[in-house]
């Protein structure tokens, strides 16, 4: 069970410990998605312990980030 230590969970590694887990692009997209309120969506959409190929993963992350960004702008968030 995750307890927040380094290496314990990909999201805490990226967001809290600033440890690279996938690729610079994927890690950056994940950070943006979490900041836009999409942490639950990430965890429901992907098995972050066994993600798809990096190119497929980055493409899917980009689509999620773009959608969340657009939705946030439409709700009046200053993003």
* pLDDT tier for residue 76 given thresholds of 50, 70 and 90: confident
Q: Enter the tokens of residue 16.
A: 């809290």
Model confidence pLDDT, tens digit, residues 12-58? 999 999 999 999 999 999 999 999 999 999 999 999 999 999 999 99
Q: What share of the chain is helix, strand, coil (3-state, %, to 5)?
A: 60, 0, 40
User: What is the predicted pLDDT for the residue at 7?
Assistant: 81
| b (16+ CB within 10 A) / e for 3-17 | eeeeeebbbbbbbee
Q: What is the DSSP string of 5-20?
A: -TTS-HHHHHHTS---
């Amino acid at each position: 069970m995750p307890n927040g230590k380094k290496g314990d969970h990909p999201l805490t590694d990226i967001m809290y410990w600033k440890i690279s887990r996938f690729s610079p692009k994927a890690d950056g997209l994940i950070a943006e998605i979490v900041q836009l309120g999409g942490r639950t969506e990430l965890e429901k959409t992907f098995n972050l312990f066994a993600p798809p190929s990096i190119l497929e993963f980055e493409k899917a992350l980009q689509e999620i980030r773009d959608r969340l960004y657009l939705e946030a702008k439409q709700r009046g968030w200053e993003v």
